[in-house]
């Protein structure tokens, strides 16, 4: 058993020993959802004051409004009653450090973990690689405020999203822990 697996299972054992949340209803109690990045430095429960059962948190690389993220938001509203949504990107995001072309090149070269230094991204090893990455839009980010605005606009324009759902746009500052509004995104999300 790996150390990580063992640590997770021990932590779960301790958590389950005093677990008292088994009667929470399926719909989120505070009726909102957050779409945010998978970055380990972000803890939506802490930065948004959440407890178990309060809100839906949808995470992906960059917190982007991908088809799957929109699918989850639509389910969150249609079947589970959320009435407000947040799009939260963050400073110092890894999605700002590469382009689709870089990712595709790295994957074509090798499937092993790449590294980055002052000269850019590098593969550590030779093949095998795959060109399947050529068929994915990696939704990289050039400008955080612009990407938040684009995602809010995409969500609001989606034919499965009711017009009455407000979508707020924010950037989480990883240095201060603050949520910084992107006013153009929030205006677009009204």
The residue ranking higher by pLDDT, 67 or 126, is: 67
Under a CB-based contact definition with an 8 Å cutoff, are residues 86 and 56 in contact? no
pLDDT digits (tens, 9 = 90+) for 19-54: 999 999 999 999 999 999 999 999 999 999 999 999
What residue has token string 């153009």? 184
120-123/114-117 β-pairing:
antiparallel
Under a CB-based contact definition with an 8 Å cutoff, are residues 80 and 32 in contact? no
Q: Give one word for 49, left, alpha or beta, with left for phi > 0 and alpha for psi -120 to 50.
A: left
User: What are the boundaries of each domain within the chain?
Assistant: 28-98+139-188, 103-137
Q: What residue spans of the chain are helical by DSSP H?
A: 3-17, 44-47, 67-78, 100-109, 144-157, 183-188
What residue has token string 């240095």? 175
| pLDDT for residue 5 is more than 80 | yes
Residues 6+ apart with CB under 8 A from 6: none
For residues 187, 35, 64, 130, the Cα torsion angle rounded to the nearest 10 degrees is: -170
Superfamily in which the 28-98+139-188 domain is placed by CATH:
Carbonic anhydrase (3.40.1050.10)
Could you say which DSSP state residue 30 is in? Answer: T
Global confidence as pTM: 0.94
Per cent of the chain over pLDDT 70 is: 100
């Amino acid at each position: 058993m790996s150390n990580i697996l063992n640590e997770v299972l021990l932590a779960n054992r301790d958590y389950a020993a005093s677990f008292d949340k088994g009667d929470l209803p399926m719909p989120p109690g505070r009726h909102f959802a957050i779409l945010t990045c998978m970055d380990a430095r972000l803890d939506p429960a802490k930065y948004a004051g959440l407890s178990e059962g309060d809100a839906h948190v949808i995470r992906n690389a960059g917190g982007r409004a991908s088809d799957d993220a929109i699918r989850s938001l639509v389910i969150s509203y249609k079947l589970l009653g959320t009435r407000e949504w947040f799009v939260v990107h963050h400073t110092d995001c890894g999605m700002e450090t590469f382009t689709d072309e870089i990712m595709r090149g790295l994957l074509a070269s090798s499937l092993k973990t790449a590294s980055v230094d002052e000269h850019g991204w590098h593969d550590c090893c030779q093949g095998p690689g795959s060109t399947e990455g050529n068929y994915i839009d990696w939704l990289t980010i050039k400008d955080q405020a612009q990407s938040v605005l684009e995602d809010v606009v995409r969500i609001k324009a989606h034919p499965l999203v009711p017009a009455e759902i407000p979508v707020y746009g924010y950037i989480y500052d990883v240095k201060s822990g603050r949520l910084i509004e992107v006013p153009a995104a929030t205006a677009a999300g009204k």
